[in-house]
Structure 1
């Protein structure tokens, strides 16, 4: 049996962690998972294959372990690129809902945060919580100046619980990665690192306020409101935000009884989500109907910025390149991006290209307004699982957000036309790519790359001189690359990376009779090689 706890018996933390592991082992047995515990080294016996483990039992185990395990399960539920649909469906049932604490337990935290008794800042305060989660609970109140607000309070002691359970989860993940190949493919350590970062942001209630302010400033342009925060009274453990008046979009019956223009609201919501991700690069990562409000003035509101995502410029560029490759039916380009995201693992590239070509062909003649993103994503996720490819966590979050958004707008407006929403954004991106500033920037990168190539060409020049003197060319190709070339040949497609090599060979052949032409060909080979390198980055 593997001992996961620290070995300093005199250390109180070590003893508590041993007790916690003992509790978790009991929970494994309670949910019929003794075989899995044995595979992890937490119990006696030979263990059982992971495929024999029931997803429902794991969900029940995570729920009993506590809030950190539940939230980690919710993160895993977003990873359709890693997990089979049965696991995703089961994990999606995990809810971060817990009974609220009595008001007497949170009142001291509120008064400490505002620097005095509640009466000094509020004319009214609801002692019964509006909502409660594992991290915080929310109460309605009214400030002395008459503004209606929501007061969110972090649960006392939650930081210590989260830190302790995160340590245990990391140790358990490292053991699982060593002992169970199926889990090693999921890269649990990387998943937990990303999870810990997002959990740290959620624990800091002032981070929610900053995100709401920053993203809200961007969304104003599109007629979407976010709550304003009272910064004098808000901090890491308590935040105080404006109470938006309206009803949650999850109440579709009320929405349909109202005079609201649901088609326009669906379009506004879609534009807000797409532009937050693609243009702004900083976005609300959990825009489910409960976090969307139809306001009394007929506009749209977004609340709860505890979960946010970031799409870095290089990721956006990769997504644009992926879109262009799909549009031009360039399956090699599509596979290049997928391999880049997965860390360039050793896969059957030819078979992967064939699978992507089949997928692209399936949708090539479908009208955009008939395309269901959920269907496309599920097919892509199935291919990724089949080839053991994984998306980076930031992109997985982007896709989860897009799926949430599309499912929501389809419920509001079944005739939702995604082409209408994407067209102006696509045009904006194309204008940006063709702008003088962008072209100057790309030219600068190309010149810099050419400069680096020139500085590193003594060996190249020597090789060219040797070819000219001997009339012979030595070609060395790695077995993996040779197999890739054979696959390209079988697929009947040209390989852009071969063009520079072809020009270089031609230059060597004509060097003795046409030195000027050979020089031009050699320069073209270098330029093409550099351009291809810049394009692939």
Structure 2
């Protein structure tokens, strides 16, 4: 509590740094992370006279000339700015965000001080293994991006272009004639916070469905396009009156590079297989560990963390609990949490927190796995073909039940199209990349034909023996096993 109060009093830069540190288990013990994660990005509003002065400076006209209406007081105030409700002369209701005064100078000074402290900590605290100065530089770059409201507007439009077509996802419109570096005018969204369950239920809206849409949208952000909303707290996710999930505030966005996207999917495959050696290698590929890291103590530590939490399936994992356990491990071993991953964790933990408020039994990973299954079956990337092969083979044996489960999970994916999966599966089977499945399929069919032939011969000899009065069954003849064969899985897959 005391730490949170001190950070809040220090001002905007320290609030943002505190929020960023709450996602860095490689830098702080869990007790501090939990305290900092409750930091609220809220400050008292600054005077209207200054806000209206900024609007006039940025847009070259008085707010009373620009807008048909503007609220007499801000409707919300945060560390970087405050928001007014207004109306354009063309009739549209809008949100007008105005930046705080002297923000660039104050934040630049704060970042300079924090960067110096980071350098001192690197030199004098042996436990610090991460590049604190580099982290602070990245943080400084990110916060200055947030100060450019024109960039936020472009982010919103890019987000709408990539994800606005998804079912029940809504992104507000930007009004560029009323937007500049320190003033942003966007469509006003009438909605209810996802955490306000009673109000949502009273409107007849299915909050669980909206949370599931949020999970599906996040998966496409993280694993498909790589452009993701890094600050999806309850205030930035609203249930609209027509039952859509509206995203707000596009100041904090981040990018996941292609190799990182594939690496995250590969890590899920290794988790499914309980291949903790492979998972440790994934942490190197994803820049958590340096290539020269001794993995000998880390592999069993990963096994302890995940085996205790996995239960029957990966889908049953509680994301927050596993993140907490990993936080302890990352603090003990030489992990460096990449900036992109820290933002992913913040995003997913926040989303799961909202989801659990809606449904205490909600599991983010159980909703995510169908999408991952679809990607494994349809994505042409060599990395994912290798992951598919790893998932389907064990000790030289092909696991048809895994393929069956993958297809079943893929069919539960939001954008599953049977024709697409069939077309791409057939193309894959008859390409060099599909050799490993094709060979197994042919082998299983030959086994099945041989099995059926011997069974038919067995039945025929039984009939002959009975008709000739030889009595009894031919115990020397081949008997098909009573246990289900791989053919059963193949039949179910085909059906």
TM-fit CA distance, 1:82: 3.0
Counterpart of 2:124 in structure 1 is 179
Alignment match, 2:316: 370
Out of 209, 213, 218, the position equivalent to 2:153 is 209
Partner of 2:482: none
Question: Displacement of 1:294 after TM fit?
Answer: 0.7
Structure 2 SS opposite 1:124: strand
The structural deviation recorded for 1:186 is 4.2
Q: Which deviations, in whole Å up to 9, do the C-alpha atoms of 1:381-424 show, x marking residues without a partner? A: 22221213121111111122111111111211234354552233
Q: C-alpha distance in 1, partners of 2:335/2:384?
A: 33
Is 1:427 the counterpart of 2:366? The answer is no
- Distance in 1 (CA, whole Å) between partners of 2:21 and 2:90 is 44
Taking structure 1 as the reference length, the TM-score comes to 0.67
Instruction: Determine whether 1:157 maps to 2:102.
Output: yes
Q: Which residue of 2 aligns with 1:143?
A: 88
CA change 1:260–1:379 in 2 (3 A) is same
Is the contact made by 1:262 and 1:413 (CA closer than 8 Å) also made in structure 2?
no
**Alpha-carbon distance between aligned partners in 1 of 2:31 and 2:101, rounded to the nearest angstrom:** 36
TM-score, normalised via structure 2 length: 0.73
- Residue equivalent to 2:142: 198
1:299 counterpart residue number: 244
Asked if structure 1 preserves the Cα contact closer than 8 Å seen for 2:153 and 2:184, the reply is yes
Q: Which residue number in structure 1 is paired with residue 10 of structure 2? A: 65
Q: Aligned ranges for residues 105-144 of structure 1 at < 5 Å?
A: 105-144=50-89
Q: Secondary structure at the match of 1:250?
A: coil
On the 8 A contact 2:13/2:107 being kept in 1, the answer is yes
- 2:80 is aligned with 1:103: no
Native 8 Å contact 1:369 1:416 kept in 2: no
Using the alignment, how far apart are the partners of 2:89 and 2:295 within structure 1?
Answer: 66
Contact 2:298 2:333 in 1 (8 A): yes
Specify the SS of the correspondent of 1:247.
strand
Q: Please name the residue that 2:132 is paired with.
A: 188
Question: 2:207 is matched with which residue: 259, 262, 277?
Answer: 262
Which is bigger in relative contact order (C-alpha 8 A, separation at least 6)? 2
Deviation of 1:168 after TM superposition, in Å, equals 1.5
Find the residue that maps to 1:156 and give its secondary structure.
coil
CA positional deviation for 1:58:
4.5
**Aligned counterpart, 1:353:** 299
Between stretches 324-333 and 413-422, larger displacement belongs to 413-422
Contact 1:270 1:409 in 2 (8 A): no
Aligned to 2:356: 410
CA distance in 2, matches of 1:174, 1:120: 49
- Structure 1: runs of 5+ lacking an equivalent: 1-55, 444-492, 494-537
Runs (4+) off by over 6 Å? 440-443
Q: Kindly tell me: are residues 80 and 257 of structure 1, through their superposed partners in 2, closer, same or farther at Cα, counting changes over 3 Å?
A: farther
Number of the residue aligned with 1:453: none
Answer yes or no: is the 8 Å Cα contact 1:266–1:413 preserved in 2.
no
Q: Distance in 2 between matches of 1:300 and 1:280?
A: 19
Q: 1:67 to 1:439 in 2, by over 3 A?
A: closer
Distance 1:122 1:74 in 2: 35
Q: 1:249 to 1:315 in 2, by over 3 A?
A: same
Farther-moved stretch of structure 1 (247-256 vs 259-268) = 247-256
- The DSSP-based 3-state class of the residue aligned with 1:129 is coil
- Aligned 1:42-53 pairs, distance under 5 A: none
Which piece of structure 1 moves more, 382-391 or 299-308? 382-391
| 1:218-367 correspondence to structure 2 within 5 Å | 218-222=162-166, 223-340=168-285, 341-344=287-290, 347-367=293-313
Q: Which residue pairs with 1:34 in the alignment?
A: none
8 Å contact from structure 2 (residues 52, 62) kept in 1: no
Q: Give the deviation of 1:220 after TM superposition.
A: 2.1
CA gap of 1:359–1:148, structure 2 versus 1, over 3 A, is: same
* Partners of 2:53 and 2:94 in 1: CA distance: 19
Structure 2 gaps, min length 5: 387-394, 396-495
Alignment RMSD (CA, Å): 2.4
Contact 1:368 1:418 in 2 (8 A): no
**Are residues 99 and 367 of structure 1, via their aligned partners in 2, closer, same or farther at CA, if it must alter by over 3 Å?**
same
Can you list the C-alpha shifts for 1:274-329, whole angstroms capped at 9, x where unaligned? 22111121111111111111101111111111111211101112112212222222
Structure 2 Cα separation of the partners of residues 250 and 185 of structure 1: 38
SS in 1 for 2:164: helix
